[in-house]
Chain A
Amino acid sequence: MTLSLFLILAAALFAVGLYGLLSQQSIVMIMMGLELAISGIIVAGAALWYFVVPGGPNAEALVVVALTAMAVEMAVGFAIATAIFRARDVDMVDSASDLKG
């Protein structure tokens, strides 16, 4: 077990999530991709704690922040999906492309 192996695992999870994020049309599937990408960040944070900054708690705090981001992302994502589904009967991003900023 080396840092490189952990970071490669994190990169693989992030890349799979990125693929889902870019390719899926359904809003909920996009959120799954986002969660996978954040899960990669959690693995990377834990590995950095063990291999780079083992003495301090900074990397652990990063993992907790990433976990919170995951929970908030899911809650807000579903709220927005519900809101746009109520307003327009839309559950695909392609039907809501006029929201592009």
Chain B
Amino acid sequence: MLVVETTIFGISALASVAAGIAVFRVNSMARATFALLASFILAAVPILLLGLTFLGVIVILMMIMEMMIMLVFMIMYMMNPAGLMPMKMVHNNKMSFIISVSVFVILAVGAVLTPWPRFGAPSDVDPTQMIGLDFMGPHMLVMVVIGLVLFATIVSVVVLAQARGRYDRYGDDLRTRPPNDPVRTGLGR
């Protein structure tokens, strides 16, 4: 059983990193998005192997949705339609490569050499139940903050992305009446 799990882990880990590298090597933004999606899903397989079913499934589902939305934006801002031309838009490529390789080496050496401690024994409680009770109990503050952050994100994203805000309509002191709209609103236009 352990051999099977280790094999699955090895394959998915290598494929996940390979898909991650492919993100920056393919010639089209759409392909890059799907490579990123593949990388995320393959990175969720080790999480499932650890027994964290809920979190693994959440990662997979959320990443599929997120990448589908991202794909729309990617195509919106695509500078190379259909990947017909080589797409390479990098600055300081060599130094970036050196930095990222050295960061990987440092982190990997640290991961191997550190004598990792172990706190507590594995409990019989299902990890999904554990996190559910935790978020409704001791870690409720985390859940509350996440909710507030997500709501603030919705508001700020709409404000940032809209073409004409209230200062465009009502003037800098917000007192211009009627609002300065390109098309008059209301009945009897």
User: Whole-angstrom distance from the CB of B67 to the nearest CB of chain A?
Assistant: 9
User: Whole-angstrom distance from the CB of A19 to the nearest CB of chain B?
Assistant: 4
User: Whole-angstrom distance from the CB of B39 to the nearest CB of chain A?
Assistant: 7
| Given known A13-B16, A46-B55, A76-B156, contact A70–B66 (CB-CB < 8 A) | yes
Chain B interface secondary structure, helix, strand, loop or mixed?
A: helix
For chain A, the count of residues having a C-beta within 8 Å of the partner chain is 71
Report A49-97 residues with CB < 8 Å from chain B CB: 49-58, 60-61, 63-65, 67-68, 70-72, 74-76, 78-83, 85-86, 91-92, 94
Q: Choose one: A14, A25, A72, A79; the contact of B149 (CB below 8 Å).
A: A72
B146 contacts chain A at the CB level, 8 A cutoff: yes
The interface of chain B, by Cβ under 8 A from chain A, is 2, 5-6, 9, 13, 16-17, 20-21, 23-24, 29, 32-33, 36, 39-40, 43, 46-47, 49-52, 55-56, 58-59, 62, 66, 69-70, 73-74, 77, 79, 89-93, 95-97, 99-101, 103-104, 107-108, 111-112, 116-123, 127, 130-131, 133-135, 139, 142, 146, 149-150, 153-154, 156-158, 160-161, 163
Given contacts A65-B142, A72-B153, 15 further A-B pairs with CB under 8 A are A1-B9, A13-B43, A14-B107, A16-B100, A22-B95, A22-B99, A26-B77, A36-B20, A42-B47, A55-B120, A68-B146, A79-B161, A85-B77, A91-B79, A94-B91
